[in-house]
Amino acid sequence: MSAPFRVRENGIDLFVRLTPKSSVDRVEGVETAADGRSHLKARVRAVPENGAANQALERLVAKTLGVPASAVSVVTGGTSRLKTVRIAGDPQALARGADALSGQSQR
């Protein structure tokens, strides 16, 4: 299983499968697609209108990883369930956080 993130020189890109209109805001672990790519599963209460679900995802990821909301942005998949979220900061620390979040460290 591949990691649901890619390390960049100034942060990481986190691959997420988002479910809007959920009953809770939470991250639910890793899912592997049929093509072998891994995505972090996330649910938000916001509806997918006018970017509300994307903003809720950005806030959820920021809170979960302990980074400022301004460091998190959806860079691809604005209208899709599969999104790439860019997180600015120390790449190694963010990778460790994303690794723990995805349960990769329990292998």
Sequential DSSP letters for the chain: ---SEEEETTEEEEEEEEE-S-SS-EEEEEEE-TTS-EEEEEE-SS-SSTTHHHHHHHHHHHHHHT--GGGEEEEE-TTSSEEEEEEES-HHHHHHHHHHHHTGGG-
Which CATH number do you get for residue 88?
Answer: 3.30.1200.10
Count of domains forming the chain: 1
**How do the pLDDT tens digits run along the chain, 107 residues long?**
588 999 999 999 999 999 999 999 999 999 998 888 999 999 999 999 999 999 999 999 999 999 999 999 999 999 999 999 999 999 999 999 998 887 643 33
How high is the pLDDT of residue 2? 80
Q: What is the pLDDT of residue 105?
A: 39
- Could you tell me how far CA 56 lies from the centroid of its own chain? 11
The parent domain of residue 80 ranges over 5-106
Query: How many degrees, rounded to 5, is the angle at CA 81 between CA 63 and CA 56?
Result: 30
pLDDT of residue 106: 37
pLDDT at 95: 93
C-alpha closest to that of 15 among 34, 49, 42, 48: 42
